[in-house]
Amino acid sequence: MKMTRPTAIITGGSRGIGAAMADKLGELGYNVVLDYHLDSSKEKAEAVAKSLEEKYGVETLVVQSDVSQYDDCVHLVQATVDKFGDQIDCLVNNAGITNNSNWIDIKPEAYERVIAINLMSALHMTHLVLPYMVNHADKDHQCNIVSTTSVGGLTGVINQADYCASKSGLIGLTRGLSLEYAGKGIRVNAIAPGMIMTDMLRGVNQDELKALSATIPQGYIGDVSDIAGALGYLLTASYVTGQVLSPNGGFVLS
């Protein structure tokens, strides 16, 4: 079954950067599949989906899954195909967490969880989605895979070695897959956000926030809409693949 609208899957799309990118997908006319993991995120994911339907007239699907687990990724992709057919046009790998712990005190299960959610989820999802993309992508109908990495994957962040390792891994995945599938009409890119105003930064006191802003050459912390805008560009830039676009206010020059 072939749908009139293109179909996109976004992991970690219930809040923050993910919700903003889901909104951009809806604006661009995609039917959007959002996953959420914890029961506490269900209401947020459903609110994002409802907003997309009301604002853009697209169809949505909300699926509970732990994308660090391969079987849950199978469930997510199959649910997408069951509702929208086997033409998957876009995958946004956005699920991510961080520990913020020094490397002596951190427990193996903690850094294994970061690698599983931040990196393994993208490996699982691309492995499962690519066969559907290959079946219908070509030069005139391109498909896209976009992963959310971080400036931490380009440089380093104190007390976040596992996070940086996972985000660097996403960059390697992006570059490798982009070369492998460039001739098949599939573009693979990544977005490496700098400091963006999300729930985590909203909890920082104002003095600390000013100190953070002072480290950014442009002088302010970015908004989730900056990352959504980067996604919009990558989805429409037909001659761009294998790239890491980093909206960071000049904080990191890549």
One-letter identity of residue 215: T
pLDDT at res. 1: 43
Lookup: tokens for 191? 């977005």
pLDDT at res. 205: 75
Q: Does residue 17 contact residue 93 with C-beta atoms inside 8 Å? A: no
In this structure, how many other beta carbons lie within 10 angstroms of the beta carbon of residue 3? 14
Lookup: tokens for 252? 């990191």
Active site residue: 30, 56, 132, 163, which one? Answer: 163
Can you name the residues that pair with 138 across neighbouring β-strands?
Answer: 141
E strands, the chain, in order: 7-10, 31-36, 60-64, 90-93, 143-148, 186-191, 244-245
Over range 171-183, report the average pLDDT. 98
pLDDT tens per residue, range 46-65: 999 999 999 999 999 999 99
pLDDT tens per residue, range 62-92: 999 999 999 999 999 999 999 999 999 999 9
Q: Which residues contact 57 (CB under 8 A, 6 or more apart)?
A: none
Q: What is the rounded CA–CA span in Å between residue 119 and residue 50?
A: 29
Alpha helices in 182-250 (DSSP H): 199-202, 206-214, 224-236
Is 220 among the catalytic positions? no
pLDDT tens per residue, range 1-11: 444 799 999 99
Domains and CATH numbers, the chain: 7-245 (3.40.50.720)
Lookup: tokens for 190? 């990544």
Q: What is the rounded CA–CA span in Å between residue 198 and residue 128?
A: 30
The SS3 of residue 138 is: strand
One-letter identity of residue 67: V
Looking up tokens 């599939």 gives 186
